[in-house]
Amino acid sequence: MKEEFKRLKRELVQKGSIIDYYQDTVLVPNGNIVKWDFIGHKGAAAVIPVREDGKILMVRQFRNALDRETLEVPAGGLNGADEPTRIAAGRELEEETGYKSNDIEFLITIRTTVAFCNEKIDIYVAKNLIPSSQHLDEDEFINVEAYSVEELMEMIYNTTIQDSKTICAIMTYAHKYLRK
C-alpha cells in the first residue's frame, strides 16, 4: 500500500532576504495532522574554477552562521528562481574570484538539507580561466586561494573543509576528472 502525505496548508511565518520560513500542516498516512517547518530557497549555483596548472581557486570568507572563516568553492544564490544556473555560476566565478570563463561545464546537482529545505545547488566546472576583476557585494570580504585537488581532499578528510557543497564539488570533480 502506498503511503500518502497531503499538505493541507503552508503558512509564511517570516520572509527573509535569502530564505522564507513556512509552517506546513500535513496529513500523514496514519491520519494524524502534523506541523512541519519548511524553508523555501530560490536556488544557487557553485563553480570549481580550474587553472591551467590544475589548481582549483577557492574562496575564504567569514560565515556568520559558523562564526568563523570557511574555505569554499565560489557560489551564490540565483537572482531569481528562473535564472539559469550556468549564468549564475559564471557570474559568481567573476564576482568572487576575478576570473571569467567561456568553458563552463555542468558537474552535479545537490540538495543541501532535504529534511526541511528545498535548496538546490547546481555545480559547474570552469576551465580556461580569463583574468578579469572581482565584483564583491558590499558585505563580502573574500580572499582567493589556489590548491591542488590532493590538498583539498586532505582538508576534507581532516575536517578543515566542512561545507557540503564544497565537499560534493571536490569529491565529484576528483572522481570524474582525476581517476585513472
Unique residue bearing C-alpha cell 530564505: 19
From the candidates 11, 138, 145, 150, give the one annotated as an active-site residue.
138
In residues, how long is the chain?
180
Return d(Cα 43, Cα 56) in angstroms, integer: 23
Residues 6+ apart with CB under 8 A from 38: 10, 21, 22, 23, 24, 116, 117, 118
Answer yes or no: 138 catalytic.
yes
- Number of Cα atoms under 13 Å in the Cβ half of residue 6: 9
Residues with active-site annotation: 138
